[in-house]
Amino acid sequence: MSDGWIRQVSPMIGDEEALAVQQVVASGWITEGPESRAFVAELKECVGSRFAVLAPNGTLALALGLLALDIGPGDEVLVPDMTFVGSASAVVLTGAKPVFVDVEPVTFQIDMADAERRLTPATKAVMPVHLYGTACDMAAVSAFADRHGLQVIEDAAQSMGVRFRGQHVGTFGDVGCFSFFADKTITTGEGGFVTCQDEGVYERLRLLRNQGRMNSGTFIHPSVGFNLRITDMQAALGRVQLRKLGLIIERKLELLAAYREALSGVRGVRVLGAAEGANHVPFRCAIVVDDAAAFIEHLSSHQIEPRTFFYPLHLQPAFASLRGPDDHGFPNAVAGYEGGICLPLHSALTVDDVSRIARAIRDHQEAAREIGTP
Ligand SMILES: Cc1ncc(COP(=O)(O)O)c(C=O)c1O
């Protein structure tokens, strides 16, 4: 990179995307139209969903999905304690209450044994979040939901291309929600989509996203809805991205393999991989070390932009009002935050960049060993 920094995010976008957007602008039809219809059809085909609608971003995709399932005031939704804040704020937007659940110690996916402990009579739904490019155990989530009569909202924001036992994530639950933010596997700048397999839910999604009517062009609104549409410029960009999905995944896996090789033998560094039964489309190169804060400082001093893991939701200042007497604690989410680092993994990264990052990590570990810290 020209300023010497290795940045965290850099989408694989180029002339093809620019041309696609330009053609939409030239056509004069810039709101949802032919490109959006084609994009939805291609997305459905890609993930294997019966129905889908587009959304302005991943957070609003989640809110839309929750609202379509009639989740609102008085309801509780189980949300993993380690996820991006948008998973929980989408629940808050509907008037429902997110109830945090600890995560697994190895994969950092939702811990279903802990979910069981957090159930109350108000629990209406569970939101498995497929984190860091692999999947939650959807067999366990579905069995749990069936046992307790809960709805399932899958947060698949980070998970284009991720399958559990061969089935694309986002198609197991009542709704599945994806994000196309610039750091996601494919991007439209901002954007998202919601999948569902039930025609009734699909109709509610359509009404909610388009001002309470099934189609534009009428001012008679059978129900209350909102404007949660996107534009054909974004859809055109997304269609080009979707055609590159295989290439993007291939590149991500090559870089992850380079990281694994470069970090092999470095003591005290664990590289996260695929969860059991799932594949891995790495969102970042997620590693776990003893003391993430010291590493982050060291990497930044070498012009490498790292990120922490997500800050546990139960500690978020924004959710202080949700805190209650907690018997169970969240040891794994806290340990994940204290030890987790996301290293850059995107198509602009080179194998030389990976070597530079791995060298900085190795140097840090060796220096720590010399002064006797773990
Ligand atoms: C797990 C998860 N859920 C939800 C979101 C929200 O998506 P968006 O930024 O498109 O609103 C993100 C975005 O990073 C995410 O990582």
| 366 token code pair | 């060796």
**Substitution site in 59, 153, 178, 194 for ligand 1 pocket (most atoms within 8 Å of beta carbon):** 59
CATH architecture assigned to 15-239: 3-Layer(aba) Sandwich (3.40)
- Whether the pLDDT of residue 1 is over 50: the answer is no
Helices (H) and strands (E) in the chain, counts: 12, 13
- Does any ligand 1 atom lie closer than 6 A to the CB of residue 55? no
Q: Is 358 exposed, middle or buried (0-12, 13-18, 19+ CB in 10 A)?
A: buried
Ligand 1 atom with least separation from CA of 129: 1
**Spacing, Cα 357 to ligand 1 middle (Å):** 26
pLDDT tens track for 326-336: 667 999 999 99
Q: Is 57 in the pocket of ligand 1 (CB under 6 A)?
A: yes
Q: 246-371: what CATH class?
A: alpha beta
- Please check whether residue 8 is in contact with residue 342, taking contact to mean a CB–CB distance below 8 angstroms: yes
341: exposed, middle or buried (Cβ count in 10 Å: 0-12, 13-18, 19+): buried
Are the beta carbons of 180 and 40 closer than 8 angstroms? no
Q: For ligand 1, is residue 86 a contact (CB within 6 Å)?
A: yes
**Token representation of residue 124:** 């209406």
- Residue having the nearest C-alpha atom to atom 8 of ligand 1: 58
- Catalytic center residues: 184
Distance CA 249, CA 370 (A): 39
- Provide the H-helix boundaries in 73-216: 85-93, 112-117, 138-148, 199-209
> Over 80: is that where the pLDDT of 369 sits?
no
Q: Are 26 and 364 in contact (CB under 8 A)?
A: no
- For ligand 1, whether the C-beta of 128 sits within 6 Å is no
pLDDT in tens, 335-355: 999 999 999 999 899 999 999
DSSP three-state, residue 315:
helix
State residue 53 phi and psi, 5-degree precision: -135, 155
Instruction: Report the distance separating Cα 364 and Cα 89, nearest Å.
Output: 37
User: Tens of pLDDT along 121-178?
Assistant: 999 999 999 999 999 999 999 999 999 999 999 999 999 999 999 999 999 999 999 9
pLDDT of 325 above 90:
no
For residue 62, report the distance from its CA to the centre of ligand 1, in Å: 9
Q: Which atom of ligand 1 is nearest to the CA of 190?
A: 10
- Retrieve residue 316's tokens: 């978020």
C-alpha distance from residue 349 to each of 128, 282, 354 (Å):
30, 14, 7
pLDDT band at 361 (very low <50, low <70, confident <90, very high): very high
Cβ–ligand 1 distance for 58 under 6 Å, the answer yes
Q: What is the pLDDT of residues 251-274, one digit of tens each?
A: 999 999 999 999 998 999 999 999
Provide the token pair at 301: 């001093």
312: three-class secondary structure by DSSP: coil
Contact between residue 112 and residue 139 where contact means Cβ atoms under 8 Å apart: no
User: In the structure, what pLDDT confidence band is assigned to residue 367 with cuts at 50, 70 and 90?
Assistant: confident
Domain boundaries, the chain: 15-239, 246-371
Banded model confidence at residue 323, pLDDT cuts 50, 70, 90: confident
Q: Amino acid identity of 212? A: G
